[in-house]
Each structure stands twice: as C-alpha cells, then as structure tokens.
Amino acid sequence: MTRFERWLTFDSETKAELEALTDPKEIEDRFYKNLEFGTGGMRGIMGAGPNRMNRYTVAKATKGLADYLKSEKKGNSVAIAYDSRNNSRMFAEISACVLAKEGIAVHIFDTLQPTPVLSYAVRSLGCDAGIVVTASHNPKEYNGYKVYDRDGCQLVPKYANRLIEFVNAVSFDDILYVKDNSFTDLCSEGAIKFIDNGLIEKFIDDCKALSLYRDNTDLKIVYTPLHGTGNIPVRKILSPYDVTVVSEQEMPDGDFSTVRSPNPEEKDALNIAIKCGEKTGADLVIGTDPDCDRVGAAVRHGGEFILLTGNQTGLLLLDFILKMRKLPAKPAVVNTIVTGSLGADIAKKYGCALIQTLTGFKYIGEKICQWERSGEYDYVFGYEESYGYLAGPHVRDKDAVSSSMLIAEMAAYYKAAGKTLIDALGEIYAEYGFCLDSLETLVLKGKDGAEKIRSSMELLRKSGGAVLEGVSETVDYSLGIGDLPKENVLRFIWPDGSWAAVRPSGTEPKLKMYFSVKGADRSSAAARLEKIKKTLCEKIN
C-alpha cells in the first residue's frame, strides 16, 4: 500500500485509474511486485502499477538497457519497432526518448512493423541493440517489450541476466520525466531518426531469395493478418498467388475485435478466414499473429478445412526444404526440446544434423550466430511447436513473412502433383511412423496462481518418473543438461521415444504441458495421449 500511495503522485491519469480500483486482489496483483524483466524481456497486462505495462515500467526497462549498453561500451545506437497493439507506439516513443536523453542514437520505424523486420533492421543498420514493443499473440489486455542484441537475436540468459541487473537497479524516481513526452522535439534535434522504407523492401527481397518453387499455379489462398503487422509484407510476399485478404481483419486494431485472442495457435483465431476460404473456394488459409512472427495454416482436404498444428507445419516445411534445396556442406536443423519427435528422423534421412535447444527462438538465433563465426554447421532451418519457423539467416528470430511464402509454395508444389498438404503429411507418417503432438495449458493468474505454478513444478520434480506409468527417463533441465542453460522444465520419456514435458510460460500466467506420443495409427496414439494427459492433470490438480 505504500507503493500504491506513491504511484498516486505520478500523474493525474494514473491517479484516476488507481483511485477507481475497488477489488483488494486487483490492487495486490498490481503492487505486490515489479513486472518482471526476464530473459524474454517484459510482458504483462497494461495498466497503472509496477506489475503492469505502462509508460513508467517501459521507461524503467529502457533506462536499464541504456545503462547496460554504456557499461558494455556498446551504447551508440538502437533500433525500435512496434506492433498494432494499444499503446505500442506510445511505448516505442517513450523508449526512444529515454535512449536519446542518455545520448544513444535512435532509429525508429514510423509505422508498425513485424518483429522479424526489427531483427533485420538491427543488423542492416549496424545497431548495438533493438527493441520491439509487442505482446506477440497474447490477448488484447497485454503488451510487451523485447530486447535484441547487435546480431538481431533476442538476448540469451548470459547477457539477459546482466541486463536484468541494470533494469532492477533503476528506480521509478529516476524516470518520472517520461510523463512529459518530448518525442517530437528529439526528432527535430536529430537524436531520433525514422528508418527509411527502403530497408523494408530489402527485407522482402531477402525473404524472396529463400523461394524454392516458382512454377505457375492456380492455388487460391485466403490470408488474415489478425489485425496485426503482417498485412502489407505478407501480401507482397504472396503476390504471385490468387490471394483474398479477410477484410474484417485487414486493418490494425489493438482491441482485436473479431477474435477472442489473436493467436494462430488457437483454433478459433482462423474461423473467419476459413469461412472466407469456403466461400472463395480457397485451397489454403494462412494467418499471422499481431507482430507477424508466428503463422498458422488450414488446408482444404476432402471438402473441408483442416488446421495444421505447429509441429505438423514444421515437419512439412522441414521435409519440403530438405527435399527442394541444394544443401550446404555441413547442414543443420534446429528445434526445441518441446518440439515433436519426427523432425530428427527427417533430418537424418537427408544427412542433416538436428540440434535441440531450450524453448524460445532466441536459442535458435544464437545457434545461427555461433555457426557463422565457428563454421561448425551451416544453418538450414529452425522451428518450434508454437508456430515459429525460420528458413534462412536473414533474421535471427522466427519470421512469418518468409514462412508464409514457403507454406504457399509447398501447397502449390503438392497441388501440381494432385495432393494437399494433408496428403503430404500422411506420407511423412507412413514413412517415419505416426506421432501425435499436443499442448495443454493451465491458466493460473495472480499471486495465488504463481504459487500454484511453483508448487506444481515442485511436486512433479519430487515425484520424478513415478508421475507417469512406463516412463524410462526423467530429465530435469533446471539442473543444467549438457551445454544448455538451466531452465525450469521437466521432461518424461518413454522407451519408444514418446515424451511429455512441463514448464511455466515465460510470458503469461500459465503452466504448459507438451506431449509427443507415438502409436501404430491415429486412434491408438490418441487413446494413449488422452490417458497420459488425464494422469498428468490429476497429479497437478
């Protein structure tokens, strides 16, 4: 309550919002801690208070970034981008002002841009760091703040932890000046500069350079940007095709008024696009999330649209890329420890190494950077089950722009052979064995939810392999496995290679449970999956 009283003095708008609060639990949640700046940056519900996304928590994070860069003698310039969410532009301008006042040159986009474009800009402009204001696929109440290094890669723990120390050392009293927005003045003085549109065109050209199939086709596509940043770049990359854009979801809308959540991982996010596909006779539906780093797809097959999971799209892209591309001398594919099992078998067939990282595309980006310097491997493709894919080193984060192009090319390639992507997926299962991948999520909000997540992980950790019948190996990544950083993840493995994994979300109040279950066919795998899910959920609840 002492902190609550202090925040009442910050500005009149903050005071009015806080004085309108009547629920003690709501006040507790806003003030019992600072919004955590973690290895994935910062993400939270927007509102007043230290445990919310607002101008003061954004300024605090940015002042910490400025102090970190100057301590590393890397404080020359930073690139900034933002998505279509409510307040994203304001948060980006506040970040620019804080950096400029600290003597750091700022390059900022004048219009909303996809996250992969920010990654591209950092490297193209030779910046020392990058910021993108986005909460990716989270519901409308959220916003977030991600930091990139000079390679255009999100910070991995050994760097993020040092940045976190600087952010935590900043007090709110240090940044109260941000209530007076000086963005226009700093632009006039040249401390903040807008990024030329030519950079975006270069990004599109580099995406097009990844093309693998350009034959003429009558493939029909419906595309939805889900009110986000993908509308212009994805339409450009899909220009060779007959594309219908979902008009209701074409324009930026921070309230995401046509969907429950703008997340292509969730089935209902593509409902309107699928209805449009049914009307237009489309072969393929593609949807990208608000910052256009994730992409989901639905395929017309047997007269109806079938949604592909993130794992299925990853397998299809992996097989297609390795089949169509002339591979380098030391090819390697990267995925994460919670990505489905069959990728290793496909990579092996084509003579590719498959390297697994912890969850988070920053670790895949880190591998690209490491291999460019060491020459140990040649990066070919990286993917994760959460609908993120990257087929080239033009950026160091998942890219739904180039991935949308490759998904369309895959569909056109198989259509020319009289097949759909569902047929192609069936051929993969026929060759490598059937595997059913699934994700279950428990939403546990507030202080009580955080404690439930902590106690659930502790319970599973103590139980070990006894949690699930027949488990032959339990892997606890919090102990440090190989050269991987320590992470709060548990993985339970069966003798046939099936597995289940549990981890707290790094960006939302959720406990995530991942499954990759093998079987002789879909029905046997589904029965086994449901049994494992039920057992694990009962243990937690």
Give the catalytic positions in this structure. Answer: 136
Contact 145, 46 (CB under 8 A): no
Query: Rounded CA gap, 322 and 352, in Å?
Result: 9
Q: How many CB atoms lie within 10 A of CB 441?
A: 14
β-strands 499-504, 490-493 pairing: antiparallel
Query: Rounded CA gap, 209 and 120, in Å?
Result: 15
Q: Which of 41, 276, 19 is nearest to 146 (CA)?
A: 41
- Residue for token pair 């047929």: 423
Contact 288, 230 (CB under 8 A): yes
Query: Rounded CA gap, 255 and 209, in Å?
Result: 35
Query: Rounded CA gap, 466 and 477, in Å?
Result: 18
Instruction: Give, in order, the Cα–Cα distances in Å from 54 to each of 44, 216, 511.
Output: 9, 49, 25
Query: Rounded CA gap, 531 and 245, in Å?
Result: 41
Compute the C-alpha angle 17/84/172, nearest 5°.
40
Query: Rounded CA gap, 141 and 139, in Å?
Result: 6
Contact 215, 416 (CB under 8 A): yes
- The residues, ordered by sequence, that sit 6+ positions from 523 with a Cβ below 8 Å of its Cβ are none
Q: Which of 96, 69, 70, 67 is nearest to 81 (CA)?
A: 96
Query: Rounded CA gap, 417 and 125, in Å?
Result: 43
- Residue for token pair 């600290």: 102
Name the amino acid, one letter, at 140.
Answer: K
Query: Rounded CA gap, 87 and 183, in Å?
Result: 15
- Residue for token pair 């795998």: 525
Q: What are phi and psi of 178, to 5 degrees?
A: -70, -5
Compute the C-alpha angle 329/382/127, nearest 5°.
95
Query: Rounded CA gap, 528 and 518, in Å?
Result: 9
Contact 44, 29 (CB under 8 A): no
β-strands 331-336, 378-384 pairing: parallel
Q: Which two tokens stand for residue 262?
A: 């703008």
